[in-house]
A and B are shown apart, each in its own frame.
Chain A
Amino acid sequence: MAKILMKGNEAIGEAAIKAGCRYFFGYPITPQTELPEYMSRRLPEEGGVFLQAESEIAAINMVYGAAGSGVRVMTSSSSPGIALKQEGISYICGAMLPCVIVNIVRGGPGLGGIQPAQSDYYQVTRGGGNGDYRLIVYAPANLQETVDIMQEAFDVSEYYRVPVMLVGDGMIGQMMEPIEFKDRQPNFQDKPWATTGTKGERKPNIVNSLYLDPQELENNNLALDKIYKEIEKNEVRYEAVNVEDADVVVVAYGTTSRIVKSVLEECDKEGLKVGLIRPITLWPYPFEAFDKINPECKGILCTEMSLGQMIDDVRIAANGRWKTHFYGRTGGMVPQPDDIKAEIMKILRGEK
């Protein structure tokens, strides 16, 4: 297919349709509203259904009902709306329903702001809903990567019966970039568990997350854990640049990683050895990427549009092998290349 120019939010919608998604339940919130708007136009053309729910709570529960009916379904929102969806996400995980949730993150806490942010790393990787559950979380850094992931996300979610969350920020949602949709056929799984009516020909199917017997609940959680371990083995994605002989390694994802890349180009010209680890999956986290870092590396700099959340995983990954440092801006403010460079120089000069 030829390259076309699309806005991020709309490209996400079209990629979902190409992946066989025909159902969308959502609620308006900036900066993701173009996505539901796009779906309201496109899904009826594809014989699907777009429905604007009365709230994010209702929307995610509609997703639960639709996913339990065995179809490809998605919702999208931004930070405060994702907060409301947490209950439903926990139920979806407990009931092992596949779906895709798009989260175009904005600044918080509270109503916060509408500018790009990465301050919901905890929310998306540490749950927010109750219970021992995980989501597969992708954080692409450009539109091509976003649509590629979106085209695969439904396959991945159905295969494991674990919901997928795609995390972007206002920048990804709003920007226009040339993209190319892949010619790839969705890999639909059989869903003998779906509630589609017994027709009197089989025992009732039950979509459920309640296990009153603690042993049964533990068994269910252990079964989920087995799947999560499988995901950790198969689905980790990241980009690592020049980490083997780096004197400093910067860790950044999404929009922030684009800024870091421009800083790295400059460092390269000056002969400074600075590497990059860019997690593409926030869960499962690319811990293995850190094992390739130069043992003599002077320090790792984690850069985020937050006051330091992914830094926790960076510290776990470093495991005391290197010093770890943090630099971030928050509230919708974007880290500037010069400031990131200054932090790198401090580490190189041993001032940090």
Chain B
Amino acid sequence: MSIVYKRSEGLTDAITNYCPGCTHGIITKLVAEVMVELGILGDAIGVAPVGCSVMCYNFFNCDMQQAAHGRAPAVATGIKRVQPDKVVFTYQGDGDLASIGTNEIVHAAHRGEKITTIFVNNAIYGMTGGQMAPTTLIGQKTTTSPLGRTEEHSGKPIRISEMLATIDGAKYVARVTVDKPANIAKAKKAIKKAFQTQLEGKGFAIVEVLSACPTNWGLAPNEALQWLRDNMIPYYPLGTFKDWEEE
């Protein structure tokens, strides 16, 4: 019998803490697979955020540092400036990156730090039990917007990829999702490109991945994916916003 599929060597044996139907698991796996395919696992140093993926330092089979909430890009900067020959990445949620950590991500992009960021946008604070994030959609009910987010009270959701694409130092910016196999394949390609951007020494690269949080959206896994298609993708269009190869 030939093996057609196996657990990526980019992952340890640890069981993830992600809920059933959570797409963090798919994204974590894609990052691991890409590192193996690019042959960079032994040179990779990842930075874990604060959020549901905080324990990813136990999942990725490479050296890892755990950062304070939102500070992963600064920690990654410290690592990369000391070890420019290593491959440094951050894996961050939307509360982490788009709220408390906006300063760190904007300036990592602004300096053109040669790091790769995987940005998991699930429009909510997952780990703390479903509070509103800057990325929460208008009308979306969360534990801190119980009647649904309104523009008058909280403004409109922030589009991080579009914003970062305006910064010169950001050399690759793409938004993808993982709701179905075709999109998972595209997401993997984008993640690979984001690492290649670093390997080529081009500058900062980020892939925003629209992700489902069935637990805090209060939906079954399949319903959550449909909600993501119906509500998130129209507001957060998929696509490549910046690509150094096409400039």
Residues of chain B at the chain A interface (Cβ within 8 Å): 12, 41-45, 47-48, 54-55, 57-58, 60-68, 71, 74-83, 86, 103-104, 106-107, 110
Contacts and interface: CB of A to CB of B under 8 A. Distances in A.
Given A57-B104, A68-B78, 19 more contacts: A25-B78, A51-B81, A58-B71, A58-B77, A65-B76, A66-B81, A68-B75, A69-B79, A69-B83, A88-B68, A195-B79, A196-B83, A196-B86, A204-B12, A204-B61, A204-B64, A206-B57, A206-B58, A207-B65
A61 B44 CA distance: 19
Interface string A12-54: 0000000000010100000000000000000000000101011
Interface in A186-208: 195-201, 204-208
A91 interface: yes
B67 A61 contact: yes
Contacts of B57: 206, 208
30 contacts: A23-B82, A25-B78, A53-B107, A54-B103, A54-B110, A57-B103, A58-B103, A59-B74, A61-B67, A61-B68, A62-B74, A62-B77, A65-B67, A65-B74, A65-B76, A66-B79, A66-B81, A68-B78, A69-B78, A197-B43, A198-B41, A199-B42, A199-B43, A200-B41, A206-B65, A208-B48, A208-B64, A209-B66, A210-B55, A210-B66
Interface residues of A, number: 40
B92 to A, nearest CB: 13
A209 B78 CA distance: 17
Contacts of B80: 65
A71 interface: yes
A141 B74 CA distance: 34
Contact of B62 (A49, A57, A95, A197): A197
Given A58-B103, A204-B60, A197 B82 contact: no
Contacts of A204: 12, 60-64
Contacts of B12: 204
Given A61-B67, A71-B82, A196-B86, A53 B45 contact: no
B65 A53 contact: no
